[in-house]
Amino acid sequence: MNEAFIPIIAIILIFGVLPAVTLYYLNKMKSKKYATLIKLAEIGGAVDPEMLKMLESGGVTGYKSDYRLGLIWLAIGIPITLGVMTAPDAEGVAFTLIPMFVGIAYLISGKLRLREPDNA
């Protein structure tokens, strides 16, 4: 195979397929939210702000969403950091630690929100 084939495929995947899948998923979630609101309006139900907030967040609110985001950021940051650290010229390790620190911050935020009393 040609040596330029692999980077071209990687660029197509990163800048083509990934955004397309993301946009498809976001559009699908938004259409489900609108379908739910339409069904609720058809049966004569009232739409309160709490229900809209639940539909926006996908049902996960509070400290659980922070934990989930923290684990996602750590799942991204740890392999990137290990990959850069194992490279022969380990330049830019400080920049790869950013996703790990964001993940740790979300986990700490989730822990602190767990201790807060619910006002709802």
* Residue 59: pLDDT over 60: no
State residue 120's pLDDT score.
Answer: 45
Confidence of residue 65 (pLDDT cuts 50, 70, 90): confident
Residue range 4-24, pLDDT digits in tens? 777 788 788 778 887 888 888
Range 32-61 average pLDDT:
76
d(CA 84, CA 98): 13
Those residues whose C-beta lies under 8 Å from the C-beta of residue 13, and which sit 6 or more positions away, are none
State residue 116's pLDDT score.
Answer: 65
Contact (Cβ atoms closer than 8 angstroms) between residue 74 and residue 82: no
The residues spanned by each domain of the chain are 1-59, 60-120
Contact (Cβ atoms closer than 8 angstroms) between residue 76 and residue 99: yes
Q: Supply the mean pLDDT for the chain.
A: 80
